[in-house]
Amino acid sequence: MHFAIPDTVEFTNSGGSVFVGFNVHINGTYHCSVRYRQLLCLHEQLKRELDHPNCLPPFPPKKLLPLTQGQLDERRLMLEKYLQTASQDPRVSNSELFKGFLLSAQLESSKETSTPVTLDVHLMNGQKIGLEVLTSDPSDEVLENLSQKLHLAPEFVKFFSLFLIRKEEDGEISVIKKLENYESPYISMKSLPGLHRVVLRKNFWDLSIETMLAEDRVALNLLYTQAIWEVERGWILTSNDIRNKLSSLQSRGEKREYLELAKGLKYYGFMQFGECWCDYPQKGMRVLIGAGNKELNFRVRLQTPDASSSSSSDSSETLSEGSFRVTRMRCWRITTLHAEEESEALGGIIRPGPRLELSFEYLMAKDRLQWITVVSDQAILMSACLQAMVAELLAKKGPSTIPKLPNRPWSFMRRDGTFHRVRPVTRSISNDAISVSTYSSFLNS
């Protein structure tokens, strides 16, 4: 989880008093606006739940007098650091208390009440499935709801996730983020400007998992529709001959054969990102990046002189490819640069507005480490992909033994200072929110 508090907002309560809210962004998008004392209440509850409360970072101290603008900015940065540091402890980030606080804060900030709504979730072939959900339902409950409607075997649900995607002005599709269990897909989509959709995508990197999934009819259809979409979008590279073979298999409905052929193609199983900038092999390089196969793949756009032209200014563009294995990355970090800050990776090229940088330290050769920086609006998604690939590699070495906090009732402090008692609830989900015809059309697609 990547937390940022870029700015604040003023609220006026029913009595006319003005107070400050801190705008919390998670993984690159706005999530909620909370008061200082709401975060302090969360901190106190986490201290009571943790066996070793001293492992929490220090909470920014209270001030007796009203804050100056400089002190307010200092508090904002300290709260940002607190959230970022606390969430790095998996006992905290995976706790129902922490996730429930974030979900409740999102619901309060959106001014939504927990009411029934219809949420459209799209499959990768564009098919729309209307789900009857509550505005307060977190991503895992919506995913469970959807999987029941599709009749996806419960043991396979963990291999799929909900994502937010956006259609750009040029018609391209950008993946914004994976929807996590501390947020409501309905509210997260509604809060973003532009045309966004909630889509169901596979959420694993080890392609050997597909052999097991292909034995399930519904899982096979999900893999198949995603592969077709990625071929059509150019995320998977094909030659004309291979594309004709794939089209023939698709027309005959030979899904397993289609997937077997697609698996051998370049960038199958990769997440592709929009064009961005990097400082490798030199500053100011335009690059296309894909994540998959335990690596970040770079396709750097290089300008080469045109040998057929007599003019020295004429040049043609070529793509130079290179890969950076996650097993050779010592560490990586995310940095937010604002308009007045200059990015070294851009090499003097000016871009307006805030920018995100992903920097990783890479073992280029024995005893030679080098920092490589990427400037991209999708830097946080790239970081999440790296983290997921590393997690898969670690999982193969043995199961996780992360202790969990007790799942006890807790209290959410509202902005007005009142409390809402929250009790863990297991919600049963009905199976009547999708028509038989919709389910049948999906199986036959």
Q: pLDDT digit string (tens) for 148-182?
A: 999 999 999 999 999 999 887 777 888 999 999 99
Q: Above 50 in pLDDT, residue 25?
A: yes
Instruction: Please return the burial class of 132, using the count of CB atoms within 10 Å of its CB with bins 0-12, 13-18 and 19+.
Output: middle
Instruction: Specify the pLDDT at position 445.
Output: 39
Mean pLDDT of 67-92: 91
365 phi and psi, to 5 degrees? -155, 175
State the Cα–Cα distance between residues 232 and 209, nearest whole angstrom.
Answer: 23
Q: Among 389, 421, 425, which Cα is nearest to 45's?
A: 421
Distance CA 415, CA 35 (A): 6
**Cα–Cα distances in angstroms (integers) from residue 49 to residues 40, 94, 145, 259, 406, in the given order:** 14, 13, 31, 47, 7
Report the alpha-carbon distance of residue 404 to residue 197 in Å, rounded.
33
| Cβ pair 445, 229 in contact under 8 A | no
**Residue range 80-103: mean pLDDT, rounded:** 91
- Please say whether the beta carbons of 326 and 294 come within 8 A: yes
Q: Element (H or E) spanning 107, and its range?
A: helix 96-110
For strands 116-122 and 128-134, give the pairing: antiparallel
What whole-number percentage of the chain has pLDDT above 70? 85
Q: Which of 440, 443, 444, 439 is nearest to 130 (CA)?
A: 439
Query: What is the arrangement of strands in the sheet containing 18-26, beginning at the earlier edge strand?
Result: 3-12, 18-26, 29-34
Alpha-carbon distance 399 to 436, whole Å? 39
pLDDT at residue 439 above 50?
no
pLDDT category, 355, cuts 50, 70, 90?
A: confident
The DSSP 8-state label assigned to residue 270 in this structure reads P
Helix (H, G, I), strand (E, B) or coil at 220: helix
Task: Kindly report, residue by residue over 278-309, the tens digit of the pLDDT.
Answer: 999 888 899 999 999 999 999 998 776 665 65
Q: Is 115 helix (H, G, I), strand (E, B) or coil?
A: coil
**pLDDT value of residue 50:** 81
With contact defined as beta carbons under 8 Å apart, do 12 and 35 qualify? no
Helix (H, G, I), strand (E, B) or coil at 401: coil
Q: What is the mean pLDDT of the chain?
A: 85
> What pLDDT score was predicted for residue 414?
77
pLDDT tens-place string over residues 202-222 = 999 999 999 999 999 999 999
Q: Is the pLDDT of residue 45 over 50?
A: yes
What confidence score (pLDDT) does residue 308 get? 60
Query: 175, 163 in Cβ contact below 8 A?
Result: yes
pLDDT interval class at 18 (50, 70, 90): confident
Q: Quick check: 353 pLDDT over 60? A: no
Taking alpha carbons only, the member of 437, 299, 284, 239 closest to residue 375 is 284
Q: What percent of the chain has pLDDT over 90?
A: 60
Token pair recorded at residue 282: 């030199």
Looking at residue 428, what is its pLDDT? 39
